[in-house]
Structure 1
Amino acid sequence: MTAAKLPRFSIALKLALRELRGGLSGFYIFLACIALGTGAIAAVNSVSRGITDAIASQGQTLLAGDIRFELNNRLANDQERAFLESLGQVALSTGLRSMARMPDGSQQALVEAKAVDGAYPLYGTVETEPKAPLKDLLASANGSFGALAAPLLLERLNVKVGDELLLGSVRLRISGILVTEPDALSEGFGFAPRLLLSQEALQASGLIQTGSLVEHAYKIKLNDPSIRNTLGARANREFPAAGWSIRTADRAAPSLTENVDRFSQFLTLVGLTALIVGGVGVANAVRAFLDSKRTSIATFKCLGAPAFVVTLIYLFQIMLIGSLGVIIGLALGAVAPFAAFGFLREFLPISADATLYPGALALAAAFGLLTTFAFAVLPLGHAREVPATALFREQSFDQTRLPSWPYLLAAAVALGGLAALAIFAADDRRIAVIFLAAVAGAFVLLRLVAAAISALARRSPRVNSPALRLAIGNIHRPGALTPSVVLSLGLGLALLVTLALIDGNLRRQLTGAMTQNAPNFFFVDIQSNEKEGVVETVKRLAPDGKIVQVPMLRGRILAFNGQDVARMNVPPAGRWVLRGDRGLTYTQNLPEGSSLVEGTWWDKDYSGEPLVSFSEEEGRELGLKLGDTVTVNVLGRNITAKIANFRKVEWRSLSINFVMVFSPNTFKGAPHAWLATLMDSTATPAKEGEILRAVTTAYPTVTTVRVKDALDIASQLLGQLATAIRAAAAVALVASVLVLAGALASGNRARTHDAVILKTLGGTRSMLMRAFSYEYMILGFATAVFALVAGGISAWFVVSRIMKMPATFLPDVAIMTVIGALVLTVGIGLAGTWRILGQKAAPVLREL
């Protein structure tokens, strides 16, 4: 910057501050739009950062150790155990799902059983009612072992402290209520209530058999904590075939952290949508403000002020007011974690206190200021062109042509910076790019919709009703509100329709088609010597039912083509396949419900190198192709198989499906259990209860999962998620309403002139009200139609292409959207117009 221009900046800033002494009249909607969008982004990212930091800071407690080694379906051998004990104090916990039942067989419930030893927990405390040492509560007495039950289990079985339960072959005495366990968060989500017992009780239950789905977690309090982050590589190097999953305290709950990051990214993008919608309000407010200052602008020019200085004066004012809106938004975002943590402590074991998160606030401030600048530049470019002659007559800005190229370039750079910031801050940048492209496309489409509405109105046939004729003329006349109203409501309503349709389709699947096509039961951990007996028991009670049985093993993917998966950059969509153990099976024939899409199936008597069939969708997400190799660890052995084919899997059927299906020779002689399903569309709830009791009583080590119960839990989770999503969408809709109000307010001066002239020519207030009502109804209906089309296409893409489910258009959502759009446009429009119609004619006519 040259020295000659510095005085100009100083003068422009002084004049801007002097003009601001008149107050913020006309900028309240501007402030609300910026504060709302900035506050939403600041709040979401602050709460997300708070949860992530709390998990990291309490890693030892949440993991109940400095480091955890997890083995599935087997205990550590002598050499592995000796290695673990050399590192420090070791606590063993064992987890599995099983059926807890009343001694008389009257009731049963699925439980997440967890057996612990005397060293548990190494960090943190187990809270119980009554308060007593954990060792005493789990001790055996009078032929039964003590156990702690979650309140939900007591409710489901209608039992209380002191009552007895059966788990497998062991009798348990409920010695207390389990309030909290320190490492619950690191154990992952459970579909059933917790039952805490001792290792001795679990051994006596007989539940741990060959092929049982059991997780053994060795948690260690290190003698030398400084070696924590290098232990994983050392353990895998010394025991390459162990197949254990290693997690350190700084990654105590990676699944939760990743889900929080993803959900916060989604809500941030929704908040950004609200901010961009608010940017339209900024543009409207700036245009109206500059229109009201046209005499001041012309005066500055008459006094010799360069256009550059005049532009700076009002740019400074706008950015100062925008900064005030950002500060208000940051204040809202800063207090959000303090309010949210009090609520979240009921669901997450977070003991850390909330604080300020400067990074999250700085990100929100950058979004807010960039949005303000990007949407204020073009109106400033129009204001720059106001001629000095506007001092002597009423003249608005000429918006029919674009401002000069420096202003267009500045707006483009600001919008580019806004997009780059959103992509840089996103965890999944591909989704961020798609989202921003969709928003940009929606803006272009809304402009085209507004132009189409104006063109149709211009070419519409002449009607007899004066009010309707005036409404149609208002839609296409120069300076009409059509672009502002359509743009204001269109994006918010389209987002709301998209989310409503996604939510509705998911609920229909969970309560409709998925329930109808899903099996009634899953029977897990069936031993080979129990297989025929389980089938006979089920067939006796459901003779018309269809029973499917498959062998079941568990294994962890270690490598693709010899490359360690832990060192691979895996796309987010495919990471779940590599997280923890996967169910494995083998078969001679192509599984029912699957179809080959590439490659060939192996012969029935195949005996060559191990082959594997991979699910097509997951294989593509992981970048696999025919001929690649997959190394899995099963029961402490590393097995490498070549991908022989890809098959399409219908996951939503909830039938028996696996990501990987191996050739039978791969696991020849390996011990394993069996998995079975029952499909009986005629079974009543009473009959299902009878089947559940019969199988559980005859085969206590078999875990029976009623699919309807699992779907009910999924529906509850979906409802909680939908509430948060709707709240975020409401922010965008509120921003749309504010922008709509601002757009109508910015046109009040022109409306006042029109109303006064029409009343002077004999028009009545009732006729003018009907005309304005017709106008707002037409615009509201057109906007609702766009929202339905755009939202329907977006929801279809998400449901059918991303979630791989059938997408259905829901008429009730369409009706509510149309009604909502009409109420908003007509209600807000008439509320703003009523005052205009009461203006006295003389003061307005003098200005013409």
Structure 2
Amino acid sequence: MHGTLSRPGPAHRPSRLPLTLRLALRELRGGLSGFVVFLACIALGVAAIAGVASISRSLSDGLGREGRRILGADLSYSLINREATPAERAILDAQGRVSVVASLRAMAVAGETGAALVELKAVDGLYPAAGAFVTEPQTPLSDLLAVRDGVPGAAADPALLTRLDLKLGDRITLGGHLVAIRATIVSEPDKIAGGIGFGPRLIVSQETLRTTGLVQPGSLNRWSYRLLLPDASEGDLDAAAARVAKAVPEAGWEMRARTNADPRFAKSIERFTQFLTLVGLTALIVGGIGVANAVHAFVERKRGSIATLKSVGAPGSTVVALYLTQVMLIAGLGTAIGLTVGAGLPFVVQALFAADLPLPLNPTLAPGELMLAAAYGLLTAFAFAITPLGHAHDVPVSGLFRDAVDPSAARTRPRYRLMLGLALVALVALSVATAFDRRVAMIFIAAAGIAFGLLRLVALGVMALARRLPHPSWPAPRMALANLHRPGALTPAIVLSLGLGVTLLVTLSLIDANVRRTISATLPARAPNLFFLDIPARDAPAFHDFLARAAPAAKVERVPMMRGRIVALNGVPAGQIRPPEDAAWVLDGDRGITYADEPPDGSTITAGKWWTAEEGKAPLVSFESELARNLGLEIGSSVTVNVLGRDLTAKIANLRKVEWRNLGINFVMVFSEGTFRGAPHSDLATLTLPGGTDAPLENRVLRDVAHAFPSVTSVRVKDALDAVGDLVGKLVLAIRGASAVAVLASLFVLAGAIAAGHRARLYDAVVLKVLGATRRRLLSAYALEYGVLGLVTALFGLIAGTAAGWVIVTKVMRLDFALDLSGALVAAALSVVLAVVIGLAGTWRILGQKPAPYLRQF
């Protein structure tokens, strides 16, 4: 009889997870000790990229959602310097209801108080066709703009009242005619579509505009015909636009639809998003160094476990796969944290700054952008983790134990180098494929690669130099010198992490300083003091004489000016041309054009020759040389422009290099006199004072011109530069905010590098304390070590950042470069201080440890 067998218990269901994943999850039960910096670096970089992308998507969605309100209609047709003809207007009226808005710049004169440039908008009874126009006090617009006691009304930006010391009910003159300010503007629904303004907004009725006489043949004004198609789908809009284009193909107007209300803003958002994304990617790459440090320290901590696995037969590839899985799981957690922060950023911005945002924000989750940020984070983690993990593959068990005091110099296997290469290629491909401007993305990638290579060479150079220098007699300097090159030295990690951060700070500091210098200092010293627009051709000689009397010592220049839009190049319609990004603007909208019988000041002929008086009777044009090259134009090419509704074709006779930075009178296109013979136009004039800025004289000239020539628009260059400077200041603030993320990542990496060297430093401290070293002597040695590394890194950051700043300022921005190291030196000095402070903070706890417990372990 066989023995009785006990009934087996319930079978334990085997896990369906792969063995490597099960082991990795089991290892993670011990917590994330040692991976705090790893998590912070990945989360910070991913949050920066995801946040920028999410805000960009929210802005784009906001523009799309609010397209009808921004545009003021479903379709908008704009004309420069002329109104629609009866035939054109009839075609638009046949499609739906039409609202008309006219916009121009004018001078508002407040008696002897002064005069101010205003952005004048003349509206009809249908305004606003979309959105709400809010004033204080809130009154129907028709009542505000109506004629009372023989004086029409107006609504003004509060800034105009402040500038001219006015209050509600006061009267100003436009074109010599009285207008009463009856309300201030609180909210203007279509303000964004008007672009950047150089003066406060003033809204009047179209009847008032016609009364002022500001609209003259050739004067600079824009007429927008806003077509309202209630409940129209996108297909309906396309059909209506096609009918209009077929009926009046040569109208020369600019058409926009609510689905693309402001393509200029959309492009600007894309460009700026790319720049900030690259800054976020910089933060992620800097954080990658922290990933590498953390993984290296992780392998060191796990050498016992690795030895055990290999001793029971686990192949090296299995060991690497196990810990790579664990590392990528942690990277996935950091990525998830970053995605959560980045996805929530638009909602936070909307909640805190909704009232101050210049563009409509539609907070939304952007799955595509978040997936892209996640891909960046995981690829970066993999690329920086695979090499330190791969080092353990071929090291024998005995070598792993010996690595505590004698790190192995085994080379990484080709398979892991291949994996690293593939990850880097994927990162590059992802950056280029998703870039708005691929050339900029490639420049960034090349610069990042060069920076890494140079920093690596700097670190190796410091170690080699420290190895060859004679040993100092004092203990602290001798120990600091040895720490710079000994096995496991922190030199490469600190130089890489801190070097990239300092380089970025120095670069941004120099760009900021040069842009602000160009706007606030250099330009006003060379530029005209005043611009005068819309000078009627019949009044031009009298106006010139007036300026000569008002400012006898000033230089006055005057040229005819019209507005025209390029409609074809060499017979190819402008809409079919795909120029480089930095030349696309010349085909986008209307341009100022002129005619002349000699080259304008500030121009140099680079190809061809200027026309003679006889040759100038034919339609010829002089084109700016760099733009011509980017557009594929040369001598003999044809350029077709639409001026006052007529298409005119001229042949390129010569190419000019134009000095734009002195803000003198110059144009992309200068035509021969024969091209526009008999065409109505106005004049443009500049006044340049010999002594530079003279505010009292400028104000007096502005006031006198406003009284004597009320239809002439005067622009003070300083005011225009202040407006541009304000915009640049906001952009620089955004760039600084994004760059702060990269700098913060550098600090995390620096702290992580110190933490990664904890075990080696602890061993050193214990042995040295047993031999009689005091805490003060050890602190001195560490302070010298970190100070030398900080100093070397700061020097590299100054040199590399200056070079990068010079390239961006001169080659990308095309501005003069001045070496202003005031901000850069502060950044460099801070790097030295931070290296010492963070380094000593990381070693302070080590110096207080008792030797006995650790001697038992070692």
Find the counterpart in structure 2 of residue 776 from structure 1.
786
C-alpha separation in 2, matches of 1:307 and 1:168: 86
1:231–1:30 CA distance, 2 compared to 1 (3 A): same
C-alpha separation in 1, matches of 2:743 and 2:236: 52
Q: Which amino acid aligns with 1:264?
A: T
1:74–1:490 CA distance, 2 compared to 1 (3 A): same
Cα displacement string for residues 698-731 of structure 1 (whole angstroms, at most 9, x for unaligned residues): 0010000000111112222221111111111111
2:79 to 71, 75, 97: 71
Do residues 205 (structure 1) and 217 (structure 2) align?
no
Find the counterpart in structure 1 of residue 588 from structure 2.
579
1:213-362 aligned at under 5 Å gives the runs 213-222=220-229, 225=233, 226-343=235-352, 345-348=354-357, 353-362=362-371
Do residues 832 (structure 1) and 842 (structure 2) align?
yes
Do residues 764 (structure 1) and 771 (structure 2) align?
no
Which moves more between the two structures, 140-149 or 224-233? 224-233
Find the counterpart in structure 2 of residue 820 from structure 1.
830
> Is the Cα contact below 8 Å between 1:169 and 1:204 reproduced in 2?
no
Give the drift of 1:465: 2.5
> Is the Cα contact below 8 Å between 1:185 and 1:348 reproduced in 2?
no
Cα displacement string for residues 553-584 of structure 1 (whole angstroms, at most 9, x for unaligned residues): 10001111111111221221112112211000
Which moves more between the two structures, 345-354 or 585-594? 345-354
Cα displacement string for residues 4-29 of structure 1 (whole angstroms, at most 9, x for unaligned residues): xx999722211111111111110001
Find the counterpart in structure 2 of residue 3 from structure 1.
none
Find the counterpart in structure 1 of residue 735 from structure 2.
725
Q: Which amino acid aligns with 1:13?
A: L
1:457 to 446, 451, 466: 466
Give the drift of 1:608: 5.1
> Is the Cα contact below 8 Å between 2:620 and 2:672 reproduced in 1?
yes
Q: Which amino acid aligns with 1:360?
A: E
Cα displacement string for residues 344-385 of structure 1 (whole angstroms, at most 9, x for unaligned residues): 533446666422221221111111111111111111101223
The 3-state SS of whatever aligns with 1:384 is coil
Find the counterpart in structure 2 of residue 670 from structure 1.
679
Give the drift of 1:343: 4.9
Q: Which amino acid aligns with 2:21?
A: L
C-alpha separation in 2, matches of 1:309 and 1:8: 18
Do residues 131 (structure 1) and 141 (structure 2) align?
no
Give the drift of 1:105: 3.2
> Is the Cα contact below 8 Å between 2:618 and 2:672 reproduced in 1?
no
> Is the Cα contact below 8 Å between 1:298 and 1:390 reproduced in 2?
no
1:814–1:186 CA distance, 2 compared to 1 (3 A): closer
Give the drift of 1:818: 2.3
TM-score after normalising by structure 1 = 0.97
C-alpha separation in 1, matches of 2:124 and 2:828: 61
C-alpha separation in 1, matches of 2:348 and 2:542: 55
Do residues 797 (structure 1) and 804 (structure 2) align?
no
Find the counterpart in structure 1 of residue 478 from structure 2.
469
Give the drift of 1:60: 1.1
Give the drift of 1:401: 4.3
Give the drift of 1:479: 1.7
1:184–1:391 CA distance, 2 compared to 1 (3 A): closer
> Is the Cα contact below 8 Å between 2:53 and 2:369 reproduced in 1?
yes
> Is the Cα contact below 8 Å between 1:298 and 1:386 reproduced in 2?
no
Q: Which amino acid aligns with 1:771?
A: A
Do residues 12 (structure 1) and 8 (structure 2) align?
no
Cα displacement string for residues 645-667 of structure 1 (whole angstroms, at most 9, x for unaligned residues): 11111111011111111111111
Find the counterpart in structure 1 of residue 745 from structure 2.
735
Cα displacement string for residues 476-501 of structure 1 (whole angstroms, at most 9, x for unaligned residues): 22221111100011111111111110
> Is the Cα contact below 8 Å between 2:250 and 2:646 reproduced in 1?
yes
> Is the Cα contact below 8 Å between 1:514 and 1:654 reproduced in 2?
yes
Do residues 82 (structure 1) and 96 (structure 2) align?
no
Q: Which amino acid aligns with 2:75?
A: I
Give the drift of 1:618: 2.1
1:788–1:285 CA distance, 2 compared to 1 (3 A): same
Give the drift of 1:98: 0.6
Structure 2, unaligned stretches of length 5 or more? 1-13
Which moves more between the two structures, 717-726 or 731-740? 717-726
> Between Structure 1 and Structure 2, how many residues are aligned?
842
Find the counterpart in structure 2 of residue 59 from structure 1.
67
The 3-state SS of whatever aligns with 1:345 is helix
Find the counterpart in structure 2 of residue 109 from structure 1.
116
> Is the Cα contact below 8 Å between 1:382 and 1:398 reproduced in 2?
no
> Is the Cα contact below 8 Å between 1:386 and 1:397 reproduced in 2?
no
2:614 to 605, 611, 617: 605
C-alpha separation in 1, matches of 2:699 and 2:504: 43
Find the counterpart in structure 1 of residue 3 from structure 2.
none
> Is the Cα contact below 8 Å between 1:297 and 1:386 reproduced in 2?
no
The 3-state SS of whatever aligns with 2:138 is coil
Find the counterpart in structure 1 of residue 633 from structure 2.
624
Q: Which amino acid aligns with 1:758?
A: L
C-alpha separation in 1, matches of 2:253 and 2:649: 17
Q: Which amino acid aligns with 2:778?
A: L
> Is the Cα contact below 8 Å between 2:254 and 2:589 reproduced in 1?
yes
Which moves more between the two structures, 603-612 or 548-557? 603-612
TM-align CA RMSD: 1.8
Which moves more between the two structures, 224-233 or 648-657? 224-233
Find the counterpart in structure 1 of residue 797 from structure 2.
787
C-alpha separation in 1, matches of 2:287 and 2:216: 61
> Is the Cα contact below 8 Å between 2:316 and 2:392 reproduced in 1?
no
Q: Which amino acid aligns with 2:751?
A: A
1:291–1:771 CA distance, 2 compared to 1 (3 A): same
Cα displacement string for residues 604-646 of structure 1 (whole angstroms, at most 9, x for unaligned residues): 3324531111112222232322221111000111011111211
Find the counterpart in structure 1 of residue 163 from structure 2.
156
Q: Which amino acid aligns with 2:290?
A: G
Give the drift of 1:537: 2.1
> Is the Cα contact below 8 Å between 1:299 and 1:391 reproduced in 2?
no
Give the drift of 1:394: 5.7
The 3-state SS of whatever aligns with 2:392 is helix
1:329-478 aligned at under 5 Å gives the runs 329-343=338-352, 345-348=354-357, 353-389=362-398, 395=404, 398=407, 400-478=409-487
Structure 1, unaligned stretches of length 5 or more? 1-5
Find the counterpart in structure 2 of residue 595 from structure 1.
604
> Is the Cα contact below 8 Å between 2:303 and 2:401 reproduced in 1?
no
C-alpha separation in 2, matches of 1:568 and 1:737: 47
1:523-672 aligned at under 5 Å gives the runs 523-607=532-616, 609-672=618-681
C-alpha separation in 2, matches of 1:614 and 1:342: 49
Q: Which amino acid aligns with 1:693?
A: R
Cα displacement string for residues 742-768 of structure 1 (whole angstroms, at most 9, x for unaligned residues): 111111111111122222222222111
Give the drift of 1:99: 0.5
1:142–1:217 CA distance, 2 compared to 1 (3 A): same
C-alpha separation in 1, matches of 2:558 and 2:330: 68
Q: Which amino acid aligns with 1:793?
A: A
The 3-state SS of whatever aligns with 1:173 is strand
Cα displacement string for residues 285-322 of structure 1 (whole angstroms, at most 9, x for unaligned residues): 01101110000000111122222222222111111111
C-alpha separation in 2, matches of 1:254 and 1:662: 29
1:235–1:434 CA distance, 2 compared to 1 (3 A): same
User: Quick one: percent identity of the two aligned structures?
Assistant: 51
The 3-state SS of whatever aligns with 2:273 is helix
1:221–1:538 CA distance, 2 compared to 1 (3 A): same
Find the counterpart in structure 2 of residue 684 from structure 1.
694
Which moves more between the two structures, 122-131 or 775-784? 122-131
Which moves more between the two structures, 560-569 or 343-352? 343-352
